[in-house]
Amino acid sequence: REEVRVALARRDMNQSELAEKIGVTRQYLSNYMAGKAGDVPRLWQRVFDELGLELVVIPKAKKQKNFASLSTS
């Protein structure tokens, strides 16, 4: 979610403009980005496509291990 916010800022775009481009209301997008609503895979893909982002999947075990090693350094 944070990377989406950063991508919006880089493009000098707000949530209303993004919502219009991907065909949803600003309120729906706002709730979606807050994790409160949504058809997660399909809508996120539209958001990523519009902003030129790619979803990368990291297994939880590796993610936790990497974060643990970062916090001890």
Q: pLDDT, tens digit, for every residue of 19-44?
A: 999 898 999 888 888 877 666 677 77
User: 35 vs 12, which has greater pLDDT?
Assistant: 12
Position 64 pLDDT exceeds 60: no
- Report the chain's mean pLDDT, rounded to a whole number: 79
Rounded distance, CA 9 to CA 3, Å?
10
Across residues 43-64, what is the average pLDDT? 77
Cβ neighbours for 7, distance < 8 A, ≥ 6 positions apart: 51, 52, 53
Rounded distance, CA 73 to CA 63, Å?
16
Position 52 pLDDT exceeds 60: yes
34: which 2 tokens?
């807050």
Position 46 pLDDT exceeds 90: no
